[in-house]
């Protein structure tokens, strides 16, 4: 018998009931981050594009914008390292998260794949579409840009782009490959970030998870001890990632996704218990 593929179901994304705020996104207009911001924020909020994720965190930390939508993880491409590192560098918090389906199209001014000599895109789509690229145009060079839309301004000959469908149509490009992502149930998890944890918005968004970032003391069994803190309270961890510290050689931060509301009593007890194992703990907020 053939195994049925597990389908990921995406419910309707509820918009945040807040108005007339400045909201950042990884631009320019037309990126998946722009689409995500439009899905989650009402029309009477001002959407402001940024060239990279670290600039978004600076703007939120300095209160130049109120909120932003940033990608944290893709099903195929994995963690977005720039987002994680920005949480380490800036006093910014997350107040909610949501998943959005991601579909990629290969497009160009050219009419056939044989004329493509270079692909210009963000590095995440290049990873997410690697199987199709290897199978169909393995000879083509790749160049990474700050976003999927940024290289479109050049409009050069013999260039291919990995873009959302609506962008291919907007720029009147020929679609040479449809839904070329490695997994058809591809999605990206986005976080909503702010310069402070807002309980009212978290409750409105019905966030049920907590994100933590921490370092550990160097001793045998330390990660086991940390996991036991949550296991003893019957709290599940849906993700645990190690991240290289760029400030200390051979040192790591750990990023965990805890299935418990951050303002719950159980979560507060866990944070207190973690202090004896972790020299650094940052409560990133709710997701």
SS3 per-residue string spanning 59-77 = HHHCCCCCEEEEEEEECCC
pLDDT value for 152: 84
Is the fold of 22-101+186-205 the same as that of 210-286?
A: no
pLDDT value for 10: 44
Superfamily of domain 105-177, CATH level 4: Periplasmic binding protein-like II (3.40.190.10)
Strand boundaries in 102-186, DSSP class E: 105-108, 118-122, 141-145, 159-163, 174-177
Give the domain ranges of the chain.
22-101+186-205, 105-177, 210-286
Q: How far apart are CA 287 and CA 191, in angstroms?
A: 7
pLDDT value for 3: 35
Crossing angle of helices 81-89 and 53-61, in 10° steps, is 30
Q: How far apart are CA 183 and CA 194, in angstroms?
A: 32
pLDDT value for 205: 67
pLDDT value for 65: 97
For the domain made up of 22-101+186-205, the CATH class stated in words is alpha beta
| pLDDT tens per residue across all 287 residues of the chain | 333 333 344 445 677 878 899 999 998 899 999 999 999 999 999 999 999 999 999 999 999 999 999 999 998 988 888 899 899 899 999 988 999 999 999 999 999 999 999 999 988 999 999 999 999 999 999 998 888 888 887 767 899 999 999 999 999 999 999 999 999 899 999 999 999 876 666 666 677 899 999 988 888 999 999 999 999 999 999 989 888 766 554 478 899 999 998 788 899 999 999 999 999 999 999 88
Max CA distance (Å), the chain: 62
Per-position b or e across 182-200, b if 16+ CB within 10 A of its CB: beeebbbbbbbbbbebbee
State the architecture of 210-286 in CATH terms: 2-Layer Sandwich (3.30)
């Amino acid at each position: 018998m053939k195994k049925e593929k597990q389908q990921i179901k995406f419910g309707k994304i509820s918009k945040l009931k807040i108005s007339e705020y400045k909201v950042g996104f990884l631009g320019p207009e037309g990126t998946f981050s722009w689409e995500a911001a439009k899905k989650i924020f009402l029309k009477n909020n001002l959407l402001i594009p940024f060239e990279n994720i670290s600039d978004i965190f600076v703007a939120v930390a300095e209160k130049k914008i109120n909120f932003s939508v940033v990608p944290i993880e893709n099903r195929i491409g994995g963690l977005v390292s720039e987002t994680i590192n920005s949480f380490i560098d800036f006093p910014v918090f997350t107040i909610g998260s949501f998943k959005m389906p991601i579909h990629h199209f290969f497009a160009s001014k050219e009419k056939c794949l044989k004329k493509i000599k270079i692909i210009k895109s963000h590095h995440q789509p290049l990873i997410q579409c690697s199987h199709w690229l290897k199978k169909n145009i393995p000879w083509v060079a790749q160049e990474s840009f700050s976003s999927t839309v940024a290289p479109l301004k050049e409009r050069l000959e013999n260039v291919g782009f990995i873009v959302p469908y609506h962008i291919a149509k907007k720029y009147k490009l020929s679609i040479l490959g449809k839904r070329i992502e490695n997994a058809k149930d591809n999605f990206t998890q986005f976080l909503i970030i702010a310069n402070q944890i807002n309980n009212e918005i978290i409750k409105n968004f019905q966030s049920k998870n907590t994100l933590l970032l921490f370092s550990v003391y160097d001793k045998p069994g330390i990660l086991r001890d940390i996991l036991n803190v949550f296991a003893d309270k019957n709290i599940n961890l849906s993700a645990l990632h190690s991240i290289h510290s760029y400030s200390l050689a051979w040192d790591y931060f750990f990023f965990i996704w805890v299935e418990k509301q951050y303002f719950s009593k159980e979560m507060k007890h866990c944070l207190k218990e973690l202090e004896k194992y972790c020299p650094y703990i940052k409560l990133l907020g709710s997701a």
